[in-house]
Structure 1
């Protein structure tokens, strides 16, 4: 840390896809803008429905509201700058602004995973302890768990930023990524990255694997409980209560785990493919999650199309 005061970089430049030809900049920026609009419209519609319809004031929908808010904030943190980079050739981010973006990128990403763990808890109780569901999963319980999910990552992410900010950045300032994240920024430091990169990797894996482990435990227990149900119709009904959550969880965790682990299992990608994978798992779920809510949740469909509740 002694070299931390010799940084000569005043700003960073978001490169995005390094191999993308300039003739495709307009197309890529238009596509990203469309994705951003879809995220805002889909999640915004769900938020408006929740605010308007009292029938949605239930624990599961409190969880989905937190997920929708997190998705909107993450996309708003990451997409406007890369859209501006390709649409207006404006990829510059101030030195401090880049670290602020880093903080929010990792915060919202980790909060998302913890909210999914809360969702798994809700489904676990609903399927494995249905008679006690109303006593265990109260509005106050879910709201408290969601607040905890927002609070836990903050100090950890702040420590990542505090450790990365004073490093000596005295050479290249081009970030080969679509937004400022810890790996992309610390690679530019004029010092050995290992003391900073490895603890960051361990930290991310702990906060990623811990909720994932609980989710796997919850849904394994759910599957075992469902298989013990005597009739096929009841089994299908039980599975249907969890199917949308399983889709959302798979979209979030599977690509992330692959992205973190593939360098350690002998697989390599060129930077464009790697960035494409990151952009897909970062922004595809926020775009399609509202569709999953609406298609799978009967009460949301009724609220959306103004169908009177049965």
Structure 2
């Protein structure tokens, strides 16, 4: 291991993940809130899936999309957080080259997938508010399945170049990654070659995801707001808009940290490394944790079912 940062090699057998460089002495303390947030993520999303599965009245398009979002959140957070905790707790820093590329693929694939599901949920809100009488006829189980399949295929295809581009480069500098997971840019920065194609593709993916998905979401909400303002009373307008609050909070929780962390990593070269990594960890931890809380608190059907479960247990 002592030679790992000096020898020449084309494809290293392992990478060394440093965790959060500069904060090694505080890893144990940092792991406490991270572990708590991951626990909330797992419990919250599994609770959403359990309630939707067990409650027949929730077997509809909105809750199918919510279940897809919960599964995506679970996979995305589980692809990074357990390894991060093993670094913090057990100093288990090694990760094989293949495992590193696999982790890279899962991170980027499910990040795009999460964005795509939010677009599908925006379409659900559009139909429910702008064409309520045709909701059941428009969003049939077949249509929901096709939308879900399209989201999965798009994310899988868009994330596929990341590991292939990373695999083709020679790594003759070091195999030490100053991060707690194998992000695309963090890995290819170790290559001893021109990696502009990786950076360009990463930016294309980021702006196509946020740009295209953001465009469809913005169009949906433009039509939704137009329909809401046509309602006759203020109470009706507020009640209808309230059905969109959970989705708008989920969008903000995903896009704002993602855009902020991606732009800082690429363009703010004077920012301390540990700050960049902490910002990235916010994106990895906060949206998967917040989504079930948002929908659990804001969605009447889920909130009612949760209260019913706890009431039965107490009695």
TM-score in terms of structure 2 length: 0.90
Paired with 1:282 and 1:92, the residues of 2 have a C-alpha distance of 20
Question: In the alignment, is residue 18 of structure 1 matched against residue 11 of structure 2?
Answer: no
Distance 1:293 1:117 in 2: 16
Report the equivalent of 1:35.
Answer: 37
Task: Give distance in 1, aligned partners of 2:268 and 2:184.
Answer: 22
Deviates more, 1:152-161 or 1:112-121: 152-161
> 1-side partners of 2:292 and 2:201: how far apart?
35
| Match of residue 166, structure 1, among 168, 171, 186 | 168
Structure 1 regions of 5+ residues with no counterpart?
A: none
What is the match of residue 187 of structure 2?
A: 185
Residue in 1 aligned with 2:12? 9
Q: Which runs of 5+ in 2 are unaligned?
A: 1-7
After TM superposition, list the pairs within 5 Å mapping 1:133-148 onto structure 2: 133-148=135-150
| 1:30 to partner: Cα distance | 2.5
Is the 8 Å Cα contact of residues 117 and 211 (structure 1) preserved in structure 2?
yes
CA distance in 2, matches of 1:109, 1:243: 22
- For residue 44 of structure 1, the aligned residue among 38, 46, 52 is 46
**Aligned alpha-carbon RMSD (Å):** 2.0
Number of residue equivalences? 303
Give me the whole-angstrom Cα distance separating, in 2, the residues matched to 1:74 and 1:266. 25
Given the alignment, which residue of 202, 205, 210 partners 2:204? 202
- Give the whole-Å Cα distance in 2 for the aligned partners of 1:79 and 1:106: 15
Relative distance call for 1:263 and 1:159 in structure 2 (3 A) is closer
Cα distance in 2 between the residues matched to 1:271 and 1:234: 49
Bigger mean CA deviation after superposition, 195-204 or 110-119: 195-204
Q: State the shift of 1:196 in Å.
A: 2.5
Taking structure 1 as the reference length, the TM-score comes to 0.92
Matches within 5 A, 1:47-66: 47-66=49-68
Which residue of structure 1 aligns with residue 240 of structure 2? 238
